[in-house]
Amino acid sequence: MLSPFLDVCVILIQMFNDVTVSKDNLIDSLYKVMCTGTHTASDSKVSNNDYFKRRVLGFRAEIEFEDAIINSNKGFKFLEGGMFFSPKLDGSKSMKNSFLYVTFDTLPPDEYTNIYSKISSWNEVERLIYVQLNLNHWTEESFTVKIDGKLCSTNILVPVYEFYDFDFRNQSFTKSNNEPNDFFSILSIGRERKNKAPTFALRKRDHFDFFNDYDLDTLKKIYANRYFVDNKKRQVVLHMIDFDGFIIHEDKIFIVEIKEKSPIKDKKEPEDLNKWSYGWDTRRLLWYKHIQQEIGFDVLYNIRQINNRDERKFIQWDSIFLSDFLKGVSWSSVRGGGGGEDTLIVPYLHFKRLEENLI
C-alpha cells in the first residue's frame, strides 16, 4: 500500500499530465480512432449506406434513445449494453463458445448487479468484467493515422478506466488487481495477430459533425468505448457481439436493439402504410432469440424512423418486442439488407410507438 506522501505524489503527477478535454479534441480523437479501425465498404443493396457511414451515424439513434427513455417520466431507467467476447472456434468437436462479458460505463458497478447476476446464470459465460470510466484525469498518447496514403503520427485522448470482476458465488463486484487502463484481462482470451491490423485512411470528417449536438460527458462515454473496440482490441483476434442497452423498470429488464432507418415502402404505392415494412438482420435476430432462451431477457427492437437516408429528419420512435416480431414475420422469404446481411420482414403496422411499449 502506498504511503499518504506517495499517494499525494501520484495525484500531483497525474494532474500535471492531465489534458483539457473539449468537444473539439474529443470528436477529433473519435474521428481518428474510428477511421483508422474501420474500413469503407460500399453497400450494393442499399444506396448511400456504406459500412463506415452506418457505424458512425448509428450513434445518434443510441444517444437519442437513451434521452427518450430518461425523458419519458414513466420510471424507466436506461443502462449501457455490454459486449460478449470469445475466441475463434478451432473446428474441433470439444471446443464450444466460451464468453467473457464486459460493460463500459461511468456508473458505480453495483448499478449493474441485477443484469450481471442474470447473465452469470448462462453456462456459456465464463467471466464477467465491469469497466468503470473516470470522466476526469484524461491524458494523451501518440497514434498513427493514414493521410493521402502516408502514415503520420498524431495524438489522441486516453480515457481512465478501472476494472471490476463479478463474483459468481457472491453475486457482487470486486475491484480487479489490474492497473488502470490495463486491458490484459480482456485481450488475453484473444489470439495474437499474425500480421498487424491494417491502418485505414482518415476520411469523411463531416460524418462526425452531429456529435457537436450532444453533451461532453455523453461523448466521453462513446469515445471510451471506441478507444477500446477500434484501437486496443485490434491488437488481437477476438470475436465480439453486443447489446445496445437495457431498459429497467422495477423488477423487469429488457434488452434493447436500436436502429435508425426509414420504412421499406412499396414503389407503386409509397403512401400506403399497409405496404410498409421493417427488417431485422437475421444474425442479430437469431442472437437475441438465443439470449432470450438462455437468460430470459425480453428484447425490444427500436427504430428511430427518419424521412430518408439523405436528410435523415426524425419522425418518431417505432418499437416491437421480439416475440411480436416473430408472430408477424414472413418466413417464406428474406430481403437483402444493409451490409450484405439478409433481413426478415414484418409489416410496419405491427410496430407500436415507443411510448406505447413503455407502459
Summarize pLDDT for 104-123 with one digit per residue, the tens.
999 999 999 999 999 999 99
Closest CA to 223 of 143, 165, 302, 338: 143
Q: What is the pTM of this model?
A: 0.90
Give residue-wise pLDDT tens across range 170-210: 999 999 987 878 899 999 999 888 899 999 999 989 999 99
User: Per-residue pLDDT averaged across 324-338, rounded?
Assistant: 82
- Residue pointed to by grid coordinates 433481413: 343
| pLDDT digit string, tens, across residues 16-38 | 579 999 999 999 999 999 999 99
Distance CA 199, CA 337 (A): 27
pLDDT score for 187:
93
pLDDT band, residue 336 (cuts 50/70/90): low
Query: Could you give the CA distance from residue 259 to residue 246 in angstroms, rounded to a whole number?
Result: 14
In sequence order, which residues have a C-beta less than 8 Å from that of residue 243 and are 6 or more positions away? Answer: 81, 82, 83, 255, 256, 257
**Which grid coordinates belong to 53?**
457511414
Residue pair 336/45 in contact by the 8 Å Cβ criterion: yes
CATH 3.40.1350 maps onto the chain at 251-357
d(CA 156, CA 146) in angstroms, rounded, equals: 14
Q: What is the pLDDT of residue 8?
A: 45
Nearest-10 Cα torsion for 50, 312, 64, 56: 20
Give the orientation angle of helix 216-229 with respect to helix 23-37, to 10 degrees: 20
d(Cα 225, Cα 229) in Å, to the nearest integer? 6
Q: 177 burial class (0-12, 13-18, 19+ CB within 10 angstroms)?
A: exposed
What's the pLDDT tens digit per position in 207-232?
A: 999 999 999 999 999 999 999 999 99
Q: Give the cell for residue 262.
A: 426509414
Decide which of 2.40.160, 3.40.1350, 3.40.50, 1.20.120 is the CATH code for 251-357. Answer: 3.40.1350
pLDDT-derived band at 5 (thresholds 50, 70, 90) equals low
The dihedral through the CA atoms of 334, 297, 163, 168 has a sign that is negative
Report which secondary-structure segment, H or E, holds 222: helix 216-229
Side-chain half-sphere CA neighbours of 12 within 13 A: 6
Per-residue confidence (pLDDT) for residue 55, from 0 to 100: 86
- Residues 314/305, Cβ–Cβ less than 8 Å: yes
